[in-house]
Structure 1
Amino acid sequence: MSKRWRIEVSALGSDETKAEATVEAANWMTALKAGRAALGESGGLPPGANLRHESGGSVTIHDARERKTYRLYPAEEGPVAPAAVAQAAAAPAGAPVRKARPKTIAYIPSEDLAPALHAATAATQPAQPQPVAQAQPVAQPQPTIIGADAPLAAKSNKKKMAMTMAYMPGDDLPVAPRQVVVSGQADVGTADTIQEEAPLPVATPQASSSPATSAEIEPTLTEVDVELLLSRDAEPNEENPLRYRERAYVVPPTLSAAEAEAVARGELAALQAELEPFPTGKYVSIAVFDHAWDEHPARPPVVTLDWKDWHGEPVVTFPLQKDTGRPLSVAPAPAMDQGERLSAAFEACQDLFFLEKPIDALDFSVRLLAELLPTDATIASLYDIDTNELRAATVLGVDGVAGRGVSADTGLLGAAAHEAVALRVHDLAAEPRFDASVEGIPGMKGGAALYMAIGHQGRLYGMLQLFRRSQPRFSRHDAELVRYVSEQVGEFMGQFKTVQARR
């Protein structure tokens, strides 16, 4: 059922309307396309733009590239005053991200941060009539203040953050050994559904749910060594209005998921205090691992925490399952209409530009599609131009496929590599081009599949393969969603190759 929509266009950062129109459309996405056409423009969602849903069904879209803001709202309602929100755009490709030198970062939580540190578990605990013994702080060397005046040094003991894409704590800024006091609880398990293996902001954040839910467990105080493994900062500029902080930490493997969450929330509280003077547009991503790693982690983080100040509460997930030997599986995603799925994919894909490598983008695409499009198995492959092979880099839902290399001219892979649209197959058993022995998944000769090449400007970078053993078949809307995600990943890979070629 269509309704009247009002579209207003203004300069980015201004409330003065430059152009406006009224159109008939079923939803805001078709209204945007029709409205832009009525105003002499073409296309729908501008690439790289930021989307925000307002109350009353209004939508605000910030296009950083064209320096425009589009506001859509039902014509029978008045426009909702735009909030001062961050405009997500591509993070600067500037300086390469450098891993921080592993060192023990340690602090004794102050009284004002203690409530946030214990927020993950304290709410579920009964009141204790007797006082709990407080952990004794350890002696700590005083950090040397370099180039700072006395009032500033007395005000804070925080690390100095450089205005660069990738700030790493160096030898010139010594950090005192630190210990985190967390509320220890027994690990009572994690959800069956696999969540993001790396920090992945989702389009519709849900309230955090800790795996420790029993109110019968007595809290104990434990001193935990927290080691900083990776640090990345991005300051806002003309192309990127976000103030970004990314941290990866290592904690002892004996920690429960609830204790690891307490560590993540403690680090978030410290970063929030540091970012408090700055305006809206703050994005913090934290991952806590139970092992140190160099290029790639051996297993997912124990907990990930993503906080966007314009969304409110942080999103907490627990990717690491206790049964690590079990194949990854995908639970059916909640029913969403096509407009909601594309909207969620659009907002999530803005975070592609914070990723470091093509392999990270493939993992991102698989996890995002797992949330929006339930499948039995998904394979994301990288294209090797030297061998003309598609090599499975990220696999979800099946064992024995990761690392498999297949010629890019083989079967359906070869057909999809030369197509500009998603290739849907309703019955693999009846498809003569399908070579189950090399491009399929073990034990599956029939079922449905969806293939979509990942490319940009005529160059092939990879391939997405989605499989279902039974009904329902992949629909045209499913293909449209996968195509959008693959295009965004392809654009990221194209930009990555361009930056690499300039070095």
Structure 2
Amino acid sequence: MATKHWKVLISRLGTSDSLYEGTVDAPTWPAALQATRSAIGEEGGVPDGASCNVSPDGVVTIHDSREQRRYRLAPAPAPSAPPGTKRPVPSRPEVEAATPAQARPAAVIEPIPARNPVPPSVSPSQGVANVPRPSGPPPTAIENKLILLATREEQPTGSSPLHFRERMYAVPIPIEAGTAEKLATKLLREAQEELRKQRGAKFVRIELFDHVWRSRPERPAVVRVEWKDWNKGIDIEFPLQDDTREEPRLSSVPPPATEDRLSVAFEACQDLLFLKNRAEALEFGVHLLEELVPAEATAAFLLDINTDEFRMVAARGTGAHARKGNAFPSSAGLLGAASALAEHAVLVLAHAQKDPRFRQDVDGVPGLDVRALLYRPLIHKGRLFGLLQLANGVGRGMFSEADCEVVDYVTQQLSAFVARGATPRAAG
């Protein structure tokens, strides 16, 4: 694969403060990102939970809400040869033209001094050489093994003016995240072409899984790409990569202003229009809250009116895999106390275990010393559908009034969605 030249800029979200500027040679933008993060003393590629947008001109923008960073990777022309460098003469052998004295080493990392550099610095020789190369089969070989699992097509109606296309595929062989992203983007472009002559708003979603499933997947998708024609680029997520991380990543910066978080929540909740069921909606809500109100554990419960229990259908953070599917009596512990709250009310405790209503088997989290707890019931028009739970705010411990505002807004949107397809119980 040919190597490209990338210009990389890392800045603070919502400001013009530059944290890092530099260039890197890499075959793809994920490799360029990984090399850049290695150069500033970090590991990995796209940060967990970050949103990624790829514009038609190849510029990649990544927003990391947890660390309050913005990454921008743009294809750049290769640097020209320095003055005095002789070009190879056609009549001479190529080996002679590139003598050691004349050869110019490839520029791997060329940091430009910034106002707030991110320590520590790494020498250029440690750049792309340390970036692991994809070891899986090429995209063309994988494309021949694609299995279409599900498809969904919706035309504009009175309630939704969108042309919507959703396609889910399985690739039953090992696949690198970068290779999956390329293949999913190609499939998305094909769907875009199908809708090219259609008038009105268009929304396309493509998901690639690493296994074949029937009614519901065993694991999240390896990659999800989405295109909304009112946005400039496409959005890319790696759900499986995010799902394998149980321990929350500690943030080194304070959370953004309440107004900023509410603005992000408002825009993000528009995607509820395109989700199919309550489980998907609560998974979406838990993921969104993990970004906007970071906690060591976040979970969503639905009320089962047949058994009078709250069943956990979505969870992130510590103990997530062990907790999913657990059910608790609707009147037990602080969970039960929170279910009696009125709409917009939030139960917040700084020292939950000191409350006599606390029950470790109900309100506790496996592998976590629960201190602060936040509960918000899912209520719509006086009907109770479930609850949200956040345990131990990341970086600050206690949940603030601003956190409660954000949780309240997201819960309102989730409650309205769940109400459209559930049999509720009267609140209170």
Q: Under TM normalisation by the shorter chain, which class is it? A: 0.5 to 0.7
Give SS of 1:320's match: helix
- Kept in 2: contact 1:204–1:344 (CA 8 A): no
Map 1:202-217 onto structure 2 (within 5 A). 214=128, 217=133
Q: Give the structure 2 partner of residue 256 of structure 1.
A: 176
Give SS of 1:223's match: helix
Q: Which amino acid aligns with 1:267?
A: L
Alignment partner of 2:265 out of 328, 342, 345: 345
Give SS of 1:414's match: helix
- Kept in 2: contact 1:194–1:328 (CA 8 A): no
Q: Give the structure 2 partner of residue 43 of structure 1.
A: none
Alignment partner of 1:485 out of 399, 405, 410: 410
Give SS of 1:497's match: coil
Give SS of 1:335's match: coil
Map 1:407-418 onto structure 2 (within 5 A). 407-418=329-340
Cα shift readout 1:263-301 (whole Å, capped 9, x = no counterpart): 111111111112222345211111110111122211111
Map 1:327-476 onto structure 2 (within 5 A). 327=246, 329=248, 332=251, 335-399=255-319, 400-420=322-342, 421-468=345-392, 471-476=396-401
**Cα gap change, 1:249/1:189 in structure 2, threshold over 3 Å: closer, same or farther?**
farther
Give SS of 2:420's match: helix
Cα shift readout 1:364-396 (whole Å, capped 9, x = no counterpart): 110111111111001111111111111111111
How far residue 343 of structure 1 moved from its aligned partner, in angstroms, is 1.5
**Cα gap change, 1:456/1:121 in structure 2, threshold over 3 Å: closer, same or farther?**
farther
Q: Distance in 1 between matches of 2:138 and 2:151?
A: 30
Q: Distance in 1 between matches of 2:179 and 2:162?
A: 30
Q: Give the structure 2 partner of residue 311 of structure 1.
A: 231
How far residue 121 of structure 1 moved from its aligned partner, in angstroms, is 5.7
Give SS of 2:240's match: coil
1:193 aligns with 2:48: yes
How far residue 416 of structure 1 moved from its aligned partner, in angstroms, is 1.0
**Cα gap change, 1:371/1:221 in structure 2, threshold over 3 Å: closer, same or farther?**
closer
1:285 aligns with 2:205: yes
Q: Give the structure 2 partner of residue 239 of structure 1.
A: 159
Cα shift readout 1:114-153 (whole Å, capped 9, x = no counterpart): xxxxxx9667899xxxxxxxxxxxxxxxxxxxxxxxxxxx
**Cα gap change, 1:222/1:446 in structure 2, threshold over 3 Å: closer, same or farther?**
closer
Cα shift readout 1:168-214 (whole Å, capped 9, x = no counterpart): xxxxxxxxxxxxxxxxxxxx975562579xxxxxx9798898xxx95
Q: Which amino acid aligns with 1:379?
A: A
Q: Which amino acid aligns with 2:327?
A: G
**Cα gap change, 1:283/1:220 in structure 2, threshold over 3 Å: closer, same or farther?**
closer
- Kept in 2: contact 1:428–1:445 (CA 8 A): no
Alignment partner of 2:149 out of 219, 229, 235: 229
Alignment partner of 1:295 out of 215, 220, 223: 215
**Cα gap change, 1:287/1:242 in structure 2, threshold over 3 Å: closer, same or farther?**
same
Cα shift readout 1:288-318 (whole Å, capped 9, x = no counterpart): 1011112221111111111111111111122
TM-score by length of 1: 0.56
Map 1:73-152 onto structure 2 (within 5 A). none
Q: Distance in 2 between matches of 1:243 and 1:468?
A: 41
How far residue 446 of structure 1 moved from its aligned partner, in angstroms, is 4.2
Q: Which amino acid aligns with 1:363?
A: E
Q: Which amino acid aligns with 2:330?
A: A
- Kept in 2: contact 1:451–1:463 (CA 8 A): yes
Q: Distance in 1 between matches of 2:292 and 2:325?
A: 25
Q: Which amino acid aligns with 1:418?
A: A
Q: Which amino acid aligns with 2:277?
A: K
User: What residue ranges of structure 1 are gaps of 5+ in the alignment?
Assistant: 1-119, 127-187, 197-202
**Cα gap change, 1:204/1:194 in structure 2, threshold over 3 Å: closer, same or farther?**
closer
How far residue 498 of structure 1 moved from its aligned partner, in angstroms, is 7.4
- Kept in 2: contact 1:208–1:317 (CA 8 A): no
Q: Give the structure 1 partner of residue 420 of structure 2.
A: 495
- Kept in 1: contact 2:247–2:296 (CA 8 A): no
- Kept in 1: contact 2:314–2:324 (CA 8 A): yes
Q: Give the structure 1 partner of residue 98 of structure 2.
A: none
- Kept in 2: contact 1:264–1:286 (CA 8 A): yes
- Kept in 1: contact 2:172–2:212 (CA 8 A): no
TM-score by length of 2: 0.65
How far residue 322 of structure 1 moved from its aligned partner, in angstroms, is 9.7
User: What residue ranges of structure 2 are gaps of 5+ in the alignment?
Assistant: 1-25, 33-42, 52-61, 65-69, 74-126
Q: Distance in 1 between matches of 2:388 and 2:31?
A: 45
**Larger CA deviation: 413-422 vs 270-279:** 270-279
- Kept in 2: contact 1:194–1:329 (CA 8 A): no
User: What percent of counterpart residues are identical?
Assistant: 38
How far residue 428 of structure 1 moved from its aligned partner, in angstroms, is 1.2
**How well do the aligned residues superpose, as a CA RMSD in angstroms?**
3.4
**Cα gap change, 1:491/1:208 in structure 2, threshold over 3 Å: closer, same or farther?**
farther
Q: Distance in 1 between matches of 2:293 and 2:365?
A: 18
Q: Distance in 2 between matches of 1:412 and 1:283?
A: 41
Q: Distance in 2 between matches of 1:401 and 1:245?
A: 33
Cα shift readout 1:31-76 (whole Å, capped 9, x = no counterpart): xxxxxxxxxxxxxxxxxxxxxxxxxxxxxxxxxxxxxxxxxxxxxx
**Larger CA deviation: 397-406 vs 355-364:** 397-406
- Kept in 2: contact 1:189–1:322 (CA 8 A): no
Q: Which amino acid aligns with 1:305?
A: V
**Cα gap change, 1:331/1:446 in structure 2, threshold over 3 Å: closer, same or farther?**
closer
Aligned positions, number: 310
**Cα gap change, 1:413/1:342 in structure 2, threshold over 3 Å: closer, same or farther?**
same
